[in-house]
Chain A
């Protein structure tokens, strides 16, 4: 990825830092750039 900072990582429905261990997670998602609420 050219600019990974614009993507976010989610583990079990929480946004987490990219270095968060993913073992044991039920759901993992990589989120594209968000618009916000």
Chain B
């Protein structure tokens, strides 16, 4: 399941529904991404721009690769776009597998690829103004670790 949405969602409820739909699974990993803010680097909100159809297609390709590679029973990605306030959920990744290692690996693979290949553009709103978020070399490095396997 892929959903790119401007609407808030409840990651716990999504995880429960996802798990209930696959009663034979032995392991589920649920990752939730949250808009970060700290006293040293306060952020009011994150504005995510995207072309939803393109984002859904690219995320679907990443999901399909993860399912194939790790033998997942299923995987789901829910991703917000639009304005998301600090502390709110940006995205959720859910993986189901017969055993835990595949569920963990599948979720990490999905996250590493989503951080580099999902077509989103982010702008942070801070008390001092707005700034575009640039791609991070650390995310590229995290993604590269999968290319040798």
Seen from chain A, the residues whose Cβ lies within 8 Å of a Cβ on chain B are 8, 10, 13-15, 29, 31-37
| Given contacts A13-B51, A13-B53, A37-B79, A31 and B119 within 8 Å (CB-CB) | yes
B121:A35 contact, CB within 8 angstroms: yes
Chain B residues whose CB sits within 8 angstroms of the CB of A37 once the complex forms: 33, 59, 79, 90-91, 114-115, 118, 120
B57 touches A (CB below 8 Å)? yes
B135:A35 contact, CB within 8 angstroms: yes
A14:B120 contact, CB within 8 angstroms: no
Least Cβ–Cβ distance between A3 and chain B, in angstroms? 13
Chain B residues whose CB sits within 8 angstroms of the CB of A31 once the complex forms: 119
Chain A residues whose CB sits within 8 angstroms of the CB of B119 once the complex forms: 8, 10, 15, 31, 34
A36:B57 contact, CB within 8 angstroms: no
Chain A residues whose CB sits within 8 angstroms of the CB of B54 once the complex forms: 10, 13-15, 29
Residue in B51, B118, B134 whose beta carbon sits within 8 Å of that of A33 in the complex: B134
B116 touches A (CB below 8 Å)? yes
Least Cβ–Cβ distance between A26 and chain B, in angstroms? 11
Chain A residues whose CB sits within 8 angstroms of the CB of B117 once the complex forms: 34, 36
Nearest-CB residue, chain B, relative to A33: B135
Nearest-CB residue, chain A, relative to B110: A37
Nearest-CB residue, chain A, relative to B58: A15
Chain A residues whose CB sits within 8 angstroms of the CB of B132 once the complex forms: 35
A10–B50 Cα distance when bound, in Å, is: 13
Chain B residues whose CB sits within 8 angstroms of the CB of A15 once the complex forms: 54, 58, 119
